[in-house]
Amino acid sequence: MTCRKCGYQQEQKFDVCPVCNEVSVKVEEKYKSKLLAGLLGIFLGAYGVHNFYLGFTSKAVIQLLLGIFCLGIGSGIWGLIEGILILTGSISEDAAGNPLKE
């Protein structure tokens, strides 16, 4: 995960950044909603809306383009599956590595 303040990165999760002591992870209001992300994936996943919400921007752009040019058929199934994976907890982190809030 990545420190929001100084940009320090390490593989493991940390509650307090070892470089700048920013308490970035424990502030639960910053967590994104699992329910909202899952529903966005199921209903608007064809246009990558759930991935824009979670910060997976490059994947979201691909889905958006697929959604526009293929009328949302393939990317709709992709988004639907990701929405279900989010709701079941198989996808449990946003792009910054923060856990999703229940």
Of residues 10, 13, 20, 27, which one binds Zn ion by CB under 5 A? 20
Q: What does the DSSP 8-state code read for residue 12? A: S
Contact between 5 and Zn ion (CB under 5 A)? yes
Listed residue (82, 94, 51, 49) closest to 68, CA to CA: 49
> Taking CB under 5 A as the rule, does residue 42 contact Zn ion?
no
Binding mask 53-82 for Zn ion (x = CB under 5 A): ------------------------------
Taking CB under 5 A as the rule, does residue 52 contact Zn ion?
Answer: no
- Residue 49 interacting with Zn ion (CB under 5 A): no
Residue 50 near residue 83, CB atoms below 8 Å: yes
Cα-Cα end-to-end distance for the chain: 20
- Token readout for 66 is 């697929």
Q: Is 3 in the site for Zn ion (CB under 5 A)?
A: yes
Tokens of 46: 């064809």
At closest approach, how far in Å is the CB of 90 from Zn ion?
29
